[in-house]
C-alpha cells in the first residue's frame, strides 16, 4: 500500500472541491485511485484538516 503525503492528499481534495473535475479526472491527474480520493474527501468534509493529522498511540510494556 502506498502512503501519500499530506500535501498530495490536500492538493487532490482541494482540486476536487473546486467543482471543476469529476472524482475520476481529479484522481487520474494526481495519480491516486478514485476510491482513495473519495475516502479522503469524505474524511475532509467530516473532520477537516484534523482528519489527516498523524496520531500514534504508545503503549507501555506492561
Q: What does the block give as the cell for 15? A: 482540486
Inside any domain, residue 4: no
Inside any domain, residue 32: yes
Inside any domain, residue 14: no
DSSP 25-46: HHHHHTT--HHHHHHHHHHHHH
- Stated pTM of the model: 0.79
Inside any domain, residue 9: no
For the chain, the residue count is 62
Inside any domain, residue 54: no
The pLDDT of 4-22, averaged and rounded, is 92
Q: Which residue has the cell 476510491?
A: 35
Tens digits of per-residue pLDDT, 19-50?
889 999 999 999 999 999 999 999 999 999 88
Inside any domain, residue 59: no
End-to-end CA distance of the chain: 31
> Could you tell me if 34 and 24 are in contact, meaning their C-beta atoms sit under 8 angstroms apart?
yes
Q: Which domain holds residue 39?
A: 21-48
DSSP state of 18: T
Q: What's the structural domain count of the chain?
A: 1
Looking at residue 33, its pLDDT comes to: 94
Amino acid at each position: 500500500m502506498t502512503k501519500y503525503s499530506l500535501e498530495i492528499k490536500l492538493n487532490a481534495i482541494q482540486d476536487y472541491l473546486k467543482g471543476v473535475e469529476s472524482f475520476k479526472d481529479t484522481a487520474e491527474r494526481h495519480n491516486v485511485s478514485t476510491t482513495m480520493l473519495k475516502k479522503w474527501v469524505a474524511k475532509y468534509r467530516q473532520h477537516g484538516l484534523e482528519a489527516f493529522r498523524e496520531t500514534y498511540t504508545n503503549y507501555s510494556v506492561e
